[in-house]
Amino acid sequence: MARIKTEKNVSRKEVIVTKAAALFREKGFKAASMRDLAEAVGVEAASLYNHIKSKTELLHELCFSVANRFMHYIDEVEAEKITAIEKIEKLMRFHIDEMVHHYEEVYVSDREWKHLADPYLSNYQNQRRIYRKRFASIIEAGIRNKEIKKIDAPTAVLIMLHAVSGIESWHRSKQRISAEELEENMITILVGGLTNK
């Protein structure tokens, strides 16, 4: 029977999770089957169950590993003694980098989380809400310090996060600019647009 091929320092489960992210992005969580996943990994469907319990477990793992990375990073940024604009720029660069280099995982966590079951669904929704509130509070601090224009902070967060999710079209583009140019353009437009000059 075929074995799951792994690279150095990568577990079989990690290989399965990575392939699942690509599959869920391509077909959607509902339409993707364990048979599809087994085929992508290169094994019999039955042997997948030696490593995972279910398709739902994979979605759970994908969503929460992405959410935890974002929460961990905002913890670090909030603790830094830098201006609100610098904090926002760091967060945006992190978002862009994640969307460029971990596109499939981030895409799935952003679009397919609705298929999580409770209590995971409510927990995940709560994490998303908390993250947006914390991001908005950084903008609000910048408004109070007169670094940032008077705007509605929650709306600004939504616009910025939706702009980053639009990187999906950059991935599909046949004539795309480099990831570095993309990042610099987005920072100039999104962060530069907030600055109270």
Q: What is the CATH number of the domain that holds 18?
A: 1.10.10.60
- Same domain for 25 and 80, yes or no, is no
pLDDT at 137: 98
Q: Which amino acid is at 108?
A: V
- Same domain for 158 and 66, yes or no, is yes
Q: What is the mean pLDDT of residues 55-61?
A: 92
- Same domain for 90 and 161, yes or no, is yes
- Same domain for 66 and 31, yes or no, is no
Instruction: Establish if 5 belongs to a structural domain.
Output: no
- Same domain for 108 and 153, yes or no, is yes
Paired strand residues for 195: 148
The per-residue pLDDT of the chain, averaged, comes to 90
pLDDT at 76: 97
Q: What percentage of the chain reaches a pLDDT higher than 90? A: 71
Q: Is the pLDDT of residue 143 over 80?
A: yes
pTM higher than the cut 0.85 = yes
Instruction: Establish if 7 belongs to a structural domain.
Output: no
**Domain range holding 144?**
56-191
Domain of residue 143, CATH code: 1.10.357.10
pLDDT digit string (tens) for 3-49? 555 555 567 788 888 899 999 999 999 999 888 888 888 877 777 87
Q: Is the pLDDT of residue 114 over 70?
A: yes
Q: Which of 178, 170, 160 is nearest to 93 (CA)?
A: 160
Instruction: Establish if 39 belongs to a structural domain.
Output: yes
CA 35 from centroid of its chain's CA atoms: 26
pLDDT-derived band at 183 (thresholds 50, 70, 90) equals very high
pLDDT-derived band at 145 (thresholds 50, 70, 90) equals very high
Which of 17-26, 90-99, 121-130 is predicted with the least confidence, judged by mean pLDDT?
A: 17-26
- Same domain for 151 and 179, yes or no, is yes
- Same domain for 122 and 167, yes or no, is yes
Cα–Cα distance measured from residue 163 to residue 183, given in angstroms and rounded to the nearest whole number: 12
Instruction: Establish if 121 belongs to a structural domain.
Output: yes
pLDDT at 6: 54
- Same domain for 34 and 80, yes or no, is no
Paired strand residues for 148: 195
Instruction: Establish if 158 belongs to a structural domain.
Output: yes
Instruction: Establish if 1 belongs to a structural domain.
Output: no
Q: What is the mean pLDDT of residues 141-164?
A: 95
Q: What is the mean pLDDT of residues 123-129?
A: 96
Instruction: Establish if 186 belongs to a structural domain.
Output: yes
- Same domain for 125 and 173, yes or no, is yes
Instruction: Establish if 2 belongs to a structural domain.
Output: no
pLDDT-derived band at 1 (thresholds 50, 70, 90) equals very low
pLDDT at 24: 95
Question: How many folded domains does the chain comprise?
Answer: 2
